[in-house]
Chain A
Amino acid sequence: MNLIREIWQSIVRRDPLSTDKGKSELVFLNVWLHIHPAKVKKENLRFRYTFYLGFITFFLFMILVTTGIALMCYYRPFPPQAYQDMKDLQFVVFMGPFLRSMHRWAAHAMVVCVFLHMCRVFYSGSYKKPRQFNWVIGVLLLLLTLGLSFTGYLLPWDQLAYWAITVGTNIGSYAPLVGGQVRELLLGGHTVGEAALIRFYVLHVAVLPSLMILLTVVHFWRIRKDGGLSRPTWRLKPSRPEALVTIGAPPETAPLKTVPASKDKTYGLMEVVTGKPIFETITPEEEEDAVFSYPYAFFREAIALMVTVTGIMAISLFFHAPLEALANPAKTPNPAKAPWYFLGLQELVSHSALLGGVVAPALMVLALLAIPYFDRNPSRRPSDRKWAIWLFTIFVVVNLVLIVIGTFFRGPGWAFVPPWVHVVAGAE
């Protein structure tokens, strides 16, 4: 028994979890958990503040990496074989349909969750100082998510894949000066073919996931460095200025003040070095609002993980990822549609190539990137930010409406056809 205890101790190296010291050490003596603070604010754990969308997005990404690596074992990225490998996954590989469906549905879910996460961050004003740059990284992560989904879309090499990528890259080619060249660089030619498939594959399994992991690390690291999750400050009781305490090294003239906190309370190294908490000043009330990450935050995160995993598994059990006929460059479906998240753009392109293919996407991305620098209003209280909230809501609604129109209301020849009207496809 002693040996087992010794081995266990050599692994965890912390005090028992029944003590506050043990709870703190669980976090900062563990390489995987130390991205967390030892203590978190109670109100940040509230489901209705964050909806755990950031976590869910990250868990979806983990599902995608895991299932993606498994799928790579069965996939050859050149034209006729790629499609045959899909068929083998569907009919011969043990749990192949389940695996592919999980990857597919998690990918769609991730696009949705990244977007919802962005909305949550906007509406809570969390992009404001000091978190401006983390918002920019978040926008880049959104673009990477779209890029990963788009490159993965081609890999099954069926009609759906082939024509979605053909349409999608055509939208991109409307960009002035560089559009055509970028498309050619991406496709390795003028049309979607063998060269495009291997390029999309390399982007999908190597380049984009690496960038995604790098930026995710920065994104998480900056959350801590920017003072943890933003707090719904407008809901907090106003603090009494005289109760403020400054932690760490004092100004040269004053003697060191300490906080009447528990003996085992730990502070980040940075706080000691700079002489004050980096961005937030702690009041005694706030200190009482904080709880240990273990178990309060960790169990909630674990529950978010399990909800994500079970949700994707349950969907994949009953709905299998679609696979259409083998890609056929000679047979254009009517209408040929881009992946659903680009259908808003395709809808705009159908009215004006310049507007939909160039102006709108460029403006959207630039506007998103500029939000934290353009919005000088320091308040995060919703009632102080009516204009910002209105503008962003219009942006979200317009996007959603365009995507819904493009997805459900467009029939052959991009004519307006409501989904409840059945169109008999022409003989030709």
Chain B
Amino acid sequence: MGRRLPQIFFALSMLALALIVAAVWQASTPSWKNYQHSFLQLEAQEEPNAVTKAAVLATPPQIHQTLLPGLQRVDRCTTCHLGVDDPTMKNAPEPFRYHAGLGPHIPSKFGCTICHGGQGLATDKDDAHGKVQFWDTPLLSKDYIRASCGRCHKEGDVPGVPELTEGRRLFETQGCRGCHKLNGVGGSIGPDLTEEGASHRSPDWLERHFLAPNVVSAGSAMPNFHFDREQARALTYYMLSLTNEEMGSYYSSVRLIPSPEYGRQLFVAKDCIVCHAIGGTGAKAGPDLLGVTKRHSPEWLDEQLVNPQLVYPGSSMPEYDLETNARKALVAFMSSATAQDAQNILAHRGNALTPADVAIEAGKRDFARFGCAGCHGTELQGGVPNPNAQGGQVPSLLHVSDDYTKDEVIEIIRNGKVPPLDKASGPTPPLYMPSWKHLLSDEDIHQLVDFLWSKQEKAKDAW
């Protein structure tokens, strides 16, 4: 018995040896070495004499990486993309071609993946380009790459990327925050969008979704806003730029220097004068801001601008989702602002500021801000389909004063309302009026109703 045991053992040992050799070979021949070899040959072609040629070819293969602590990443892309910062490589074939037109965004300071996406740590083509399972952010296609500018350029216009400005404008005016949180401010009906750009959604999905939410995501409560293609593209750009990454200040846009002038621009853009006066000039809904920086510490003011409820529970001032430097700029402006500044700002505003106007303005702002426009339309026209609700769609608010008193409307906004059914046996309509009493103060609701009444079409007169 067992005469052939030593032979079997020997054969298996040889097999084990072969497997070890195979594993070593597998580990010693990564694809990046081939790319580096090709690149060295390309470089050697340019060398005039044999000695330097040989020296170039003898360069040992090694992994190149850019350590970017300020961007929380390590990019190894230049292991294969070897000519990216070498102008003589501008006509070289990929992956060795020079990256022209980068301006100050040089690869050694910015890496690659902050703009292009992909997996910076990887050293193999498919993995690096993120076209593998379990990597959520593959390379962005050419059409969308400029969206990445918004990851650092978070405020103001980004030169050459009007889509971002437009996307941001649409987001703030179409009532998106009514349902979606962004940087902690907004509703909770839809998903939080603070890190939407870092999620697994493809740009293509986002764009189709903006054109027809229900088609892409069955059962979605998001109404169809009837965006055109350019608007959908702009919103997609904006979404892709929302990554909420921690970044070193080196990467923050220079526009964000918290100068009093930048603060003034914000003061105008956010229309603070509608509630606040400076030195007696302006509205009286909020406190006068003259000397506010002497009454409160910079920390208190900063917290107030993050979330007024933190320092003054029950405050009717809304949250504004301002960047750190934007808040600093506003404080800087307030420390130097005078009644004269307020006068100038008011002079450039379109309409005067009677107390009634102030309330209507505030109501109009809340209407956009809390997403009422999402269902009832930016012009209060309603019309978003709501199957099996009476009328089959969300009601227009242009004639609300015909059917309800102000108090009844206030009651509906406070407590919400389930739409009456078209057919009692039919399904529950997907859309309903939520209760707003936890989000809106009574003052907010009154202002909203004032705004609604200011918009009523004079139907009765027409009778």
Return the contact of A310 from the options B2, B15, B74, B127 (Cβ within 8 A): B15
Chain A residues within an 8 Å CB radius of B12 = 303, 306-307, 310
Binary per-residue interface labels of chain A (1-16) against chain B in the complex, 1 for a CB within 8 Å, 0 otherwise:
0000000000000000
Q: How far is the CA of A313 from the CA of B134 in the complex (A)?
A: 25
Check B16 against A300 for contact (C-beta < 8 Å).
no
Complex: chain A residue closest to B209, CB-CB: A427
Q: How far apart are B142's CB and chain A's nearest CB, in angstroms? A: 25
Return the contact of B16 from the options A90, A92, A310 (Cβ within 8 A): A310
**Residues from 42 to 85 in A contacting B, C-beta threshold 8 Å:** 42, 45, 84
Binds A, one of B23-31, B172-180, B352-360: B23-31
Check A94 against B27 for contact (C-beta < 8 Å).
yes
Return the contact of A428 from the options B16, B20, B217 (Cβ within 8 A): B217
B310 contacts chain A at the CB level, 8 A cutoff: no
Check A295 against B2 for contact (C-beta < 8 Å).
yes
Q: How far is the CA of A426 from the CA of B218 in the complex (A)?
A: 8
**Residues from 72 to 112 in B contacting A, C-beta threshold 8 Å:** 74, 76
- From B8, B16, B23, B28, residue with most partner A Cβ within 10 Å: B23
Q: How far is the CA of A87 from the CA of B113 in the complex (A)?
A: 16
Check A314 against B19 for contact (C-beta < 8 Å).
yes
Check B121 against A159 for contact (C-beta < 8 Å).
no
Check A299 against B6 for contact (C-beta < 8 Å).
yes
With A303-B5, A303-B12 as contacts: A98 and B220 at CB distance below 8 Å: no
A323 contacts chain B at the CB level, 8 A cutoff: yes
Check A303 against B8 for contact (C-beta < 8 Å).
yes
**Residues from 73 to 119 in A contacting B, C-beta threshold 8 Å:** 84, 87-88, 90-92, 94-98
Check A84 against B9 for contact (C-beta < 8 Å).
no
Check A92 against B123 for contact (C-beta < 8 Å).
yes
With A159-B134, A295-B5, A324-B134 as contacts: A91 and B123 at CB distance below 8 Å: yes
What is the total number of residues of chain B having a CB less than 8 Å from a CB of chain A? 35
Q: How far apart are A349's CB and chain B's nearest CB, in angstroms? A: 26
With A91-B121, A94-B27 as contacts: A313 and B16 at CB distance below 8 Å: yes
Check B134 against A317 for contact (C-beta < 8 Å).
no
Complex: chain A residue closest to B124, CB-CB: A91
Check B121 against A302 for contact (C-beta < 8 Å).
no
**Residues from 181 to 213 in B contacting A, C-beta threshold 8 Å:** 191
B135 contacts chain A at the CB level, 8 A cutoff: yes
Check A306 against B121 for contact (C-beta < 8 Å).
no
Check A88 against B217 for contact (C-beta < 8 Å).
no
Chain A residues within an 8 Å CB radius of B74 = 84
Check A303 against B19 for contact (C-beta < 8 Å).
no
Complex: chain A residue closest to B5, CB-CB: A299
B1 contacts chain A at the CB level, 8 A cutoff: yes
Check B1 against A42 for contact (C-beta < 8 Å).
yes
Chain B residues within an 8 Å CB radius of A302 = 9
Q: How far is the CA of A310 from the CA of B17 in the complex (A)?
A: 9
Chain A residues within an 8 Å CB radius of B439 = none
Check B220 against A427 for contact (C-beta < 8 Å).
yes
Binary per-residue interface labels of chain A (252-287) against chain B in the complex, 1 for a CB within 8 Å, 0 otherwise:
000000000000000000000000000000000000
B136 contacts chain A at the CB level, 8 A cutoff: yes
A325 contacts chain B at the CB level, 8 A cutoff: yes
B42 contacts chain A at the CB level, 8 A cutoff: no
Q: How far is the CA of A339 from the CA of B217 in the complex (A)?
A: 31
Check A88 against B16 for contact (C-beta < 8 Å).
no
Complex: chain A residue closest to B201, CB-CB: A427
Chain A residues within an 8 Å CB radius of B27 = 94-98
Complex: chain A residue closest to B133, CB-CB: A324
With A309-B16, A317-B23, A427-B217 as contacts: A300 and B134 at CB distance below 8 Å: no
Chain B residues within an 8 Å CB radius of A314 = 19
Binary per-residue interface labels of chain A (237-253) against chain B in the complex, 1 for a CB within 8 Å, 0 otherwise:
00000000000000000
Return the contact of B13 from the options A84, A94, A306, A325 (Cβ within 8 A): A306
Check B15 against A95 for contact (C-beta < 8 Å).
no
Return the contact of B122 from the options A91, A96, A306, A309 (Cβ within 8 A): A91
Interface residues in chain B, defined as those with a beta carbon under 8 Å from any beta carbon in chain A: 1-2, 5-6, 8-9, 12-13, 15-16, 19-20, 22-24, 26-28, 63, 74, 76, 121-124, 127, 133-136, 191, 216-218, 220
23 sampled A-B residue pairs with Cβ under 8 A: A45-B2, A84-B74, A88-B121, A90-B122, A90-B127, A91-B121, A91-B123, A91-B124, A94-B27, A94-B28, A95-B23, A97-B27, A158-B134, A300-B2, A300-B5, A302-B9, A303-B12, A306-B13, A310-B12, A317-B19, A324-B133, A427-B217, A428-B191
Interface residues in chain A, defined as those with a beta carbon under 8 Å from any beta carbon in chain B: 42, 45, 84, 87-88, 90-92, 94-98, 158-159, 291, 295-296, 299-300, 302-303, 306-307, 309-310, 313-314, 316-317, 322-325, 426-428
Known: A91-B121, A313-B19. 4 other contacts (CB 8 A): A159-B134, A300-B2, A317-B23, A325-B136
